[in-house]
């Protein structure tokens, strides 16, 4: 049986400080605009049973041996942010 390493901390290389990765914590204050994504915005009956997001996804790219998955992800996120107003107008 193989064992997998679990990353439970990160180290700040400048200060040497160790910081635990213990999941997300709630913000003590309300974030401006967060009500747009409130879970109580729609009832279960108002939501569709499923949503197909494939039309909004970029095509799959073959990175071969370039190990460029991070670069592709960052680039596609930049493009998505640039086109945010276009995408947002569809809803």
Domain boundaries of the chain, sorted by first residue = 8-22+50-84
Tell which wins on pLDDT, 28 or 46.
46
Q: Which residue, 44, 73, 45, is CA-closest to 58? A: 73
59-85: pLDDT as tens digits: 777 777 777 777 877 877 777 776 666
Q: Is 53 helix (H, G, I), strand (E, B) or coil?
A: coil
Q: Quickly tell me which residue has 């009832």 as its tokens.
A: 43
- Answer yes or no: pTM beyond 0.85: no
């Amino acid at each position: 049986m193989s064992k997998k390493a679990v990353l439970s901390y990160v180290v700040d290389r400048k200060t040497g400080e160790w910081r635990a990765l213990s999941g997300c914590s709630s913000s003590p204050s309300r974030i401006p605009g967060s009500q747009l994504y409130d879970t109580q915005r729609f009832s279960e009956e108002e939501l569709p049973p499923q949503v197909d997001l494939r039309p909004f996804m970029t095509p799959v790219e073959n990175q071969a041996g370039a190990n460029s998955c991070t670069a592709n992800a960052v680039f596609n996120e930049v493009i998505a942010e640039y086109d945010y107003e276009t995408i947002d107008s569809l809803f």
